[in-house]
């Protein structure tokens, strides 16, 4: 069976900021990429109403996924409405059973906003339920028993919600794919406008560039990097499983 990676993020552009470089590196070694933002991004504008914002963000996310060479999966939530619920869990579990990923990439368990942390919780439980025939997905998809390994990306600013440092224990060198990563991020044109107004990110691409270099500095080795923690193996894979770093490095970085 081929190697599939599924990136599960909260909003359009979250994948590009913290996961896209790793996706591109995996594509270089023959992995199949899958791309899912749980939310439509409908609240991310001061210029358009919810429906128009969601339409624009959808088109931009599809364009970004195409730049990455990833299969795009449609969102099923709205901004600030990503809550841990059975209905949303059934939807996400259906995607996971359809894709059958070897690796799932998602947010860390703690981050600066609840949409990110709720997405993480949903991703972990949906992956855990993949082999449970008595847990019904929406739409109904048969369970499967193959292992899956989960990895959590870095939090915004490399800090937790209380401002305490959070440095990952694994790093992927994204220097060689950084330009393509920024191309995918640039596809989210309406997000640039929103972040300028709402969060003072005067240059969307410069902010991503700066953060990627900060992770590179933390790695102690790379110019640009993305950082990861591996989720505990229990219920997901073997204790020794580390497929992401076997694919990209031959061993995990300690």
Please give the average per-residue pLDDT across 57-65, as a whole number.
97
Contact yes or no for 152/224 (Cβ under 8 A): no
Contact yes or no for 8/38 (Cβ under 8 A): yes
Quickly state the pLDDT bin for 251 (edges 50, 70, 90). very low
Does position 39 have pLDDT exceeding 80, yes or no? yes
Quickly state the pLDDT bin for 254 (edges 50, 70, 90). very low
* Confidence (pLDDT) at 47: 84
- The burial of 132, by beta-carbon neighbours within 10 Å (0-12 exposed, 13-18 middle, 19 or more buried), is given as exposed
Quickly state the pLDDT bin for 197 (edges 50, 70, 90). low
Question: Hunting for tokens 């020794």 — which residue is that?
Answer: 240
No. of helices (H) and no. of strands (E), the chain: 9, 7
pTM more than 0.85: yes
Provide the CATH number for the domain formed by 4-248 in this structure: 3.40.50.10320
Q: pLDDT by residue (tens digit) across 199-244?
A: 555 577 888 899 999 999 999 999 999 999 999 999 999 999 999 9
Q: Of 148, 113, 145, 118, give the one whose Cα is nearest residue 132.
A: 145
Residues in CB range of 90: below 8 A, 6 or more apart: 135, 136, 137, 138
Using the CB atoms, write b or e for 63-88: b if 16+ within 10 Å.
Answer: bbbebbebebbebbbbbeebeeeeeb
Q: Please list the alpha-helical segments (H only) found in 6-158.
A: 14-18, 20-28, 50-68, 86-99, 114-128
Residues in CB range of 241: below 8 A, 6 or more apart: 147, 149, 233
């Amino acid at each position: 069976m081929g190697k599939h990676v599924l990136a599960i993020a909260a909003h359009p552009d979250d994948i590009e900021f913290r996961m896209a470089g790793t996706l591109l590196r995996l594509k270089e070694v023959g992995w199949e990429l899958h791309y899912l933002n749980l939310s439509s991004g409908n609240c991310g504008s001061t210029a358009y109403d919810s429906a128009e914002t969601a339409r624009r963000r959808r088109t931009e996310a599809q364009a970004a996924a195409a730049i990455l060479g990833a299969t795009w999966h449609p969102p099923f939530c709205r901004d600030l409405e990503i809550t841990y619920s059975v209905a949303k869990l059934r939807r996400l579990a259906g995607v996971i059973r359809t894709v059958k990923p070897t690796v799932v990439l998602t947010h860390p368990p703690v981050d600066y906003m609840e949409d990110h942390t709720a997405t993480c919780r949903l991703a972990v439980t949906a992956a855990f339920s993949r082999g449970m025939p008595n847990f019904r997905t929406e739409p109904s998809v048969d369970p499967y028993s193959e292992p899956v390994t989960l990895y959590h990306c870095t939090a915004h600013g490399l800090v937790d919600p209380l401002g305490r440092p959070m440095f990952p224990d694994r790093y992927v060198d994204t220097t060689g794919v950084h330009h393509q990563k920024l191309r995918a991020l640039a596809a989210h044109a309406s997000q640039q406008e929103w972040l300028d107004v709402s969060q003072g990110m005067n240059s969307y691409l410069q902010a991503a560039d700066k953060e990627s270099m900060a992770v590179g500095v933390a790695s102690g080795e790379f110019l640009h990097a993305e950082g990861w923690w591996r989720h505990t193996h229990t219920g997901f894979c073997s204790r020794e499983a580390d497929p992401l770093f076997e694919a990209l490095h031959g061993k995990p970085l300690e």
